[in-house]
Amino acid sequence: MSKVTLTVNGANRELELDTRTTLLDALREHLQLTGTKKGCDHGQCGACTVMVDGQRINSCLTLAVMHEGDEITTIEGLGTPGNLHPMQAAFVKHDGYQCGYCTPGQICSAVAVLNEIKAGIPSHVSADLTVAQQTTAAELRERMSGNICRCGAYSNILDAITEVAGGQT
Ligand code: FES
Ligand code: FES
Protein backbone atom coordinates (compact mmCIF):
# COMPACT_ATOMS: atom_id res chain seq x y z
CA MET A 1 0.00 0.00 0.00
CA SER A 2 1.13 3.53 -0.64
CA LYS A 3 -0.22 7.00 0.02
CA VAL A 4 -0.86 9.28 -2.91
CA THR A 5 -2.34 12.76 -3.09
CA LEU A 6 -4.02 13.84 -6.28
CA THR A 7 -5.78 17.06 -7.19
CA VAL A 8 -8.95 15.83 -8.84
CA ASN A 9 -11.23 18.41 -10.45
CA GLY A 10 -9.71 21.08 -8.22
CA ALA A 11 -9.99 19.18 -4.93
CA ASN A 12 -7.18 17.57 -2.95
CA ARG A 13 -7.79 13.83 -2.60
CA GLU A 14 -5.63 11.68 -0.36
CA LEU A 15 -5.72 7.97 -1.00
CA GLU A 16 -4.01 4.88 0.32
CA LEU A 17 -3.78 2.46 -2.55
CA ASP A 18 -2.33 -0.85 -3.59
CA THR A 19 0.54 0.36 -5.74
CA ARG A 20 -0.83 -1.68 -8.66
CA THR A 21 -4.03 0.43 -8.79
CA THR A 22 -4.48 2.18 -12.10
CA LEU A 23 -5.49 5.82 -12.20
CA LEU A 24 -8.75 4.66 -13.78
CA ASP A 25 -9.56 2.34 -10.88
CA ALA A 26 -8.52 4.98 -8.36
CA LEU A 27 -10.99 7.41 -9.92
CA ARG A 28 -13.84 4.95 -10.33
CA GLU A 29 -13.47 2.59 -7.39
CA HIS A 30 -11.89 4.81 -4.73
CA LEU A 31 -13.21 8.28 -5.56
CA GLN A 32 -16.55 7.13 -7.04
CA LEU A 33 -15.97 9.28 -10.11
CA THR A 34 -17.66 6.83 -12.45
CA GLY A 35 -18.00 9.25 -15.35
CA THR A 36 -14.66 7.97 -16.61
CA LYS A 37 -15.38 4.64 -18.27
CA LYS A 38 -13.53 1.35 -18.47
CA GLY A 39 -13.88 -0.08 -21.94
CA CYS A 40 -10.93 -2.32 -22.72
CA ASP A 41 -8.57 -1.65 -19.77
CA HIS A 42 -5.76 -2.14 -22.29
CA GLY A 43 -5.20 1.28 -23.87
CA GLN A 44 -7.15 0.45 -27.00
CA CYS A 45 -10.48 2.28 -26.79
CA GLY A 46 -10.04 5.70 -25.17
CA ALA A 47 -13.12 5.39 -22.93
CA CYS A 48 -10.92 6.09 -19.90
CA THR A 49 -9.41 9.33 -21.24
CA VAL A 50 -8.81 12.03 -18.62
CA MET A 51 -6.52 15.03 -18.53
CA VAL A 52 -3.42 15.07 -16.34
CA ASP A 53 -1.84 18.49 -15.98
CA GLY A 54 -3.77 19.49 -19.11
CA GLN A 55 -2.71 16.57 -21.28
CA ARG A 56 -4.98 13.68 -22.20
CA ILE A 57 -3.99 10.18 -21.24
CA ASN A 58 -5.54 6.74 -21.05
CA SER A 59 -6.07 6.39 -17.33
CA CYS A 60 -6.14 2.58 -17.60
CA LEU A 61 -2.50 2.58 -18.69
CA THR A 62 -1.00 4.49 -15.78
CA LEU A 63 -0.70 3.78 -12.08
CA ALA A 64 -2.27 6.21 -9.63
CA VAL A 65 0.90 6.36 -7.51
CA MET A 66 2.76 7.80 -10.50
CA HIS A 67 0.63 10.94 -10.23
CA GLU A 68 1.52 12.31 -6.82
CA GLY A 69 0.60 16.00 -6.84
CA ASP A 70 -0.77 15.93 -10.39
CA GLU A 71 -3.91 17.77 -11.45
CA ILE A 72 -6.46 15.35 -12.85
CA THR A 73 -9.50 16.56 -14.77
CA THR A 74 -12.32 14.10 -15.43
CA ILE A 75 -15.62 14.60 -17.23
CA GLU A 76 -17.15 15.56 -13.86
CA GLY A 77 -14.69 18.45 -13.62
CA LEU A 78 -15.34 19.92 -17.06
CA GLY A 79 -18.88 21.09 -16.42
CA THR A 80 -22.04 20.40 -14.49
CA PRO A 81 -25.53 19.53 -15.75
CA GLY A 82 -26.55 23.14 -15.16
CA ASN A 83 -23.38 24.65 -16.53
CA LEU A 84 -22.05 22.48 -19.33
CA HIS A 85 -18.58 22.89 -20.78
CA PRO A 86 -18.93 24.14 -24.39
CA MET A 87 -17.74 20.74 -25.65
CA GLN A 88 -20.37 18.96 -23.57
CA ALA A 89 -23.05 21.33 -24.88
CA ALA A 90 -21.89 20.77 -28.47
CA PHE A 91 -22.08 16.99 -28.07
CA VAL A 92 -25.68 17.37 -26.85
CA LYS A 93 -26.56 19.78 -29.67
CA HIS A 94 -25.05 17.57 -32.39
CA ASP A 95 -26.20 14.27 -30.90
CA GLY A 96 -22.59 13.11 -30.64
CA TYR A 97 -23.40 9.79 -29.01
CA GLN A 98 -25.81 6.91 -28.93
CA CYS A 99 -25.26 4.69 -25.87
CA GLY A 100 -22.94 7.30 -24.34
CA TYR A 101 -20.36 4.87 -23.02
CA CYS A 102 -17.47 6.36 -24.97
CA THR A 103 -18.69 9.94 -24.52
CA PRO A 104 -16.79 11.08 -21.39
CA GLY A 105 -13.56 9.93 -23.01
CA GLN A 106 -14.50 11.50 -26.33
CA ILE A 107 -15.23 14.84 -24.68
CA CYS A 108 -12.07 14.90 -22.55
CA SER A 109 -10.06 13.95 -25.60
CA ALA A 110 -11.76 16.59 -27.76
CA VAL A 111 -11.04 19.37 -25.26
CA ALA A 112 -7.39 18.33 -25.15
CA VAL A 113 -7.21 18.02 -28.95
CA LEU A 114 -8.19 21.65 -29.43
CA ASN A 115 -5.57 22.67 -26.87
CA GLU A 116 -2.96 20.59 -28.71
CA ILE A 117 -3.80 22.26 -32.01
CA LYS A 118 -3.69 25.70 -30.37
CA ALA A 119 -0.29 24.84 -28.91
CA GLY A 120 1.00 23.98 -32.41
CA ILE A 121 1.53 20.28 -31.71
CA PRO A 122 1.52 18.46 -35.06
CA SER A 123 -0.26 15.19 -35.80
CA HIS A 124 0.49 12.33 -38.17
CA VAL A 125 -1.54 14.05 -40.93
CA SER A 126 -0.10 17.55 -40.52
CA ALA A 127 1.40 18.28 -43.93
CA ASP A 128 3.54 21.26 -42.99
CA LEU A 129 5.19 21.30 -39.58
CA THR A 130 6.37 24.89 -40.02
CA VAL A 131 2.89 26.47 -40.04
CA ALA A 132 0.19 26.66 -37.36
CA GLN A 133 -1.97 23.54 -37.32
CA GLN A 134 -5.61 23.96 -38.37
CA THR A 135 -8.75 22.31 -37.08
CA THR A 136 -9.51 20.53 -40.35
CA ALA A 137 -11.68 17.42 -40.44
CA ALA A 138 -8.60 15.35 -41.28
CA GLU A 139 -6.71 16.73 -38.28
CA LEU A 140 -9.64 16.16 -35.93
CA ARG A 141 -10.29 12.64 -37.19
CA GLU A 142 -6.62 11.70 -36.82
CA ARG A 143 -6.27 13.24 -33.38
CA MET A 144 -9.50 11.58 -32.17
CA SER A 145 -8.59 8.20 -33.66
CA GLY A 146 -7.70 6.77 -30.24
CA ASN A 147 -11.27 7.17 -29.07
CA ILE A 148 -13.37 4.34 -30.39
CA CYS A 149 -17.18 4.57 -30.59
CA ARG A 150 -18.88 1.25 -31.07
CA CYS A 151 -22.12 3.08 -31.88
CA GLY A 152 -20.45 4.87 -34.78
CA ALA A 153 -21.36 8.43 -33.77
CA TYR A 154 -18.19 9.70 -35.43
CA SER A 155 -19.72 12.17 -37.89
CA ASN A 156 -21.75 13.89 -35.17
CA ILE A 157 -18.75 13.91 -32.81
CA LEU A 158 -16.76 15.62 -35.57
CA ASP A 159 -19.54 18.19 -36.04
CA ALA A 160 -19.52 18.97 -32.31
CA ILE A 161 -15.77 19.42 -32.11
CA THR A 162 -15.74 21.47 -35.30
CA GLU A 163 -18.33 23.85 -33.87
CA VAL A 164 -16.38 24.36 -30.64
CA ALA A 165 -13.26 24.95 -32.73
CA GLY A 166 -15.11 27.79 -34.44
CA GLY A 167 -15.67 26.08 -37.76
CA GLN A 168 -18.77 25.46 -39.90
CA THR A 169 -20.76 22.28 -39.40
S1 FES B 1 -10.27 1.52 -20.97
FE2 FES B 1 -8.46 2.64 -21.24
S3 FES B 1 -8.14 2.68 -23.36
FE4 FES B 1 -9.85 1.36 -23.11
S1 FES C 1 -21.92 6.38 -28.15
FE2 FES C 1 -21.94 4.22 -27.81
S3 FES C 1 -19.85 3.72 -27.88
FE4 FES C 1 -19.87 5.77 -28.51
Give the burial class of 124: count Cβ atoms within 10 A of its Cβ; 0-12 exposed, 13-18 middle, 19 or more buried: exposed
Paired with 58 in beta bridges are 49
61 CA to centre of ligand 2 in angstroms: 21
**Which ligand lies nearest to the CA atom of residue 98 in the structure?**
2
Q: Where are the domains of the chain?
A: 2-78, 86-168
Q: What kind and span of H or E run contains 160?
A: helix 154-164
The residue contributing the CA closest to ligand 2 atom 4 is: 149
Q: What would the pLDDT profile of 19-76 be if each residue is shown by its tens digit?
A: 999 999 999 999 999 999 999 999 999 999 999 999 999 999 999 999 999 999 999 9
The highest-level CATH class for domain 2-78 is alpha beta
Q: What is the CATH number of domain 86-168?
A: 1.10.150.120
Measured from the CB, is residue 146 less than 6 Å from ligand 2?
A: no
Contact indicator for 23, 8 with CB cutoff of 8 Å: no
Q: What would the pLDDT profile of 108-148 be if each residue is shown by its tens digit?
A: 999 999 999 999 999 999 988 888 888 999 999 999 999 99
| pTM to 2 decimal places | 0.96
pLDDT reported for residue 169? 57
Contact indicator for 110, 161 with CB cutoff of 8 Å: yes
Which of 83, 27, 79 shows the shortest CA–CA distance to 57? 27
Q: Which atom of ligand 1 is nearest to the CA of 39?
A: 1
Contact indicator for 90, 84 with CB cutoff of 8 Å: no
For residue 168, pLDDT over 70 is answered with no
Q: Which atom of ligand 2 is nearest to the CA of 100?
A: 1
Which of 49, 30, 156 shows the shortest CA–CA distance to 101? 49
